[in-house]
Amino acid sequence: MELERLTTEARNPASEQIDRLEPLEIVRLMNAEDAAVAGAVGLVAEPIAAAIRVIADRLRSGGRLVYVGAGTSGRLGVLDASECPPTFNTRPGQVVGLIAGGRDALTRPIEGAEDSTDAALRDLQQIELSQRDVLVGIATSGRTPYVLGALDYANQIGAFTIGLSCNRDNQLTPLVRLAIVPVVGPEVISGSTRLKAGTATKLVLNMLSTGAMVLLGKTYGNLMVDLQATNQKLADRSRRIVRALTGLSDQQADERLIQARGDVKTAVVMASRSVSLATAEQLLRAAGGQLRVALELPVESTVQPPDSNTPGESVEALLLAVDGGGTKTIACLASREAEGFVELARGTAGPSNPQAVGWDVARTNLDRAIAAAFQAASLAPGRVASACLAIAGAGRPEDQQRLEQWAHREKLAHRTLVTHDAMAVLAAADPQAVGVALISGTGSIAFGRNRQGDTGRSGGWGHLIGDEGSGWVIARQALSAAARAFDRRGPKTELTTAFCEALDVHNPEQLLRKVYQHQSDRVLLARLTPVVQQVAADGDAVASEILDTAAADLAAMVHSLLERLKLDPTTGVLAMAGGTLIHGELLRQRFLSRLSLASSPFQHVVTVADPVLGAAALAYRTSLSDA
């Protein structure tokens, strides 16, 4: 992509006459432009959160966080890395900052340094980058050769790659496993990316390092408890923290710190639990360094029971089931028995619908949920006998193939079945998986399967052109009706007042601002659906009509499958799932009433509150082909 076509290189209409302005006018202009930066970063909150989790996991496993950049981007990476040891007591080399041109480039430009991919290779080989590390390539333009070369090498050796750019059309995104792209628009001075783009970069890097350190137990609340008193200022801070968390006097806090060899967390555990230095250190080890957990663990937990699972225990005979949706991801580990399966442990993470959150975030949350399940089972991750990934947004062959390739690379299981979440819902309701599954949560979809094995789907086209009858669509239509009522171009409704109360605002103007602050968070807005149902139950005609429309849409989706697959409702099952249906009794009743008008009523109607068990049943069935 040519440089002149980049957003950050474009001319900003607001500052075209900046050379004619007085100093105060320049300040106000720049301040107004800077005000948009935080919003741009907020729009990429999900990939930032996913990156924090990956970084924390890699650091916990002995890996490093490595920043790579050139110019302003490189300086900001080096700055963030250099601030981690004094702030969070990170070990030397745990967070590394590399800048094109080396240390000299921190204070003066090094001609041609950013254009050298060979230099990036040499720099990474010098620090012995490994597959355990996370490499964050920082390039505002998204096209810096030094950064692109670093990412290419990191991918070759298996390190986790993250790209940070401020231009949507960039060359980083195709190279990395996770992309963070806050688009801040043209700079006040065209091409001067040390301004808004630099501010956005600094904000993101602050979040990455701080968020990861919080997950690693470097804080207790907002106190920096993982520090060593290496100077008088830090000694005073250590004393204040111990005093604040234990109620000790200054003298008593100093005594505990001396006993704890200056370690704040150890001193707090010793004082709060009335235990010895050795026991306090064991509690912190058992808690993974998390002070809050160490303060709650029973002292007995410092002794490993003889029959506990060990990280090396075999997982070859286990099953793995994953239910991934637009709101959350649940992973379930189960043992394979003669007559079925027995659940062992679960792990949860954020959404993994790739069409809603993107493939990078989806894969990261799949990783998180699966890792959490293994951790809950006290097992080291490994290849299981069979796995079922039932993922919303993965109903098309090309999407399923992409997930299958990911599962193969991750060595997830000997046999892996990839399907969409509706198949798991149907399997949870009927062992033969014959009938119709209807999901209405943040999104919506209907899926059917007849006794001949023919399948079909209806809906599931996503929030831009589909998702009829979902929580997202119900909330969106209700918010629109509330706005029309306030403008007096629509019928009166209690929805306006109810939404203001639910979102803790005082008037429709504040309601509007709050909604648009979260316009990209469909999950949050979908959670307004219970408000609509309650207002409808109280007799509001507008809310009632919105629910009627949703019920009719859902009934039409199911009816179309009955006709297409020639399914007999009197013998098949109707499985309903998703928070909007499960927790929305009024919508559920209206949907069933609408459906009965269009076809014979189902004899078997089941609400499926735990679809991951259906995925486990599918994983078990898949494992039988190995027998």
Which residues have a catalytic role annotated? 83, 114
Token pair, residue 78, equals 């080096």
CB 527 within 8 Å of CB 471: yes
What does each C-alpha distance from 459 to 329, 391, 560 come to in angstroms? 21, 15, 10
Token pair, residue 60, equals 């916990």
What does each C-alpha distance from 193 to 9, 119, 183, 205 come to in angstroms? 8, 23, 12, 16
Is residue 414 packed enough to be buried (19+ CB in 10 Å), middle (13-18) or exposed (0-12)?
middle
- Any idea how long the chain is? 627
Is the C-alpha dihedral spanning 553, 559, 564, 567 positive or negative? Answer: positive
Token pair, residue 346, equals 């679960």
The Cα–Cα gap between 378 and 390 comes to: 24
CB 448 within 8 Å of CB 434: no
Question: How many CB atoms lie under 10 A from the CB of residue 594?
Answer: 19
CB 391 within 8 Å of CB 355: no
Task: With residue 543 as reference, give the H or E element that holds it.
Answer: helix 541-565
Residue type, 332: C
Task: With residue 416 as reference, give the H or E element that holds it.
Answer: strand 413-419
Q: What is the DSSP letter of 189?
A: S
Q: What is the DSSP letter of 504?
A: T
What does each C-alpha distance from 160 to 53, 57, 150 come to in angstroms? 12, 11, 12
DSSP three-state, residue 320 = strand
The Cα–Cα gap between 109 and 483 comes to: 54
Token pair, residue 617, equals 């049943």
340-349 and 178-180 beta bridge pairing: unpaired
Is the C-alpha dihedral spanning 54, 60, 62, 68 positive or negative? Answer: positive
Residue type, 206: N
What does each C-alpha distance from 558 to 84, 171, 281, 435, 555 come to in angstroms? 55, 43, 59, 10, 5
The Cα–Cα gap between 325 and 539 comes to: 32
**Residues forming beta bridges with residue 413, ordered by sequence position:** 384
Tokens 């096209």 correspond to what residue?
143
Question: How many CB atoms lie under 10 A from the CB of residue 114?
Answer: 24
DSSP three-state, residue 607 = strand
- Angle subtended at Cα 498 by Cα 494 and Cα 503, rounded to the nearest 5 degrees: 150
The Cα–Cα gap between 180 and 173 comes to: 8
**Residues forming beta bridges with residue 448, ordered by sequence position:** 436, 456
The Cα–Cα gap between 216 and 228 comes to: 16
**Spatial CB neighbours of 620, under 8 Å, sequence gap ≥ 6:** 319, 334, 336, 340, 341, 386
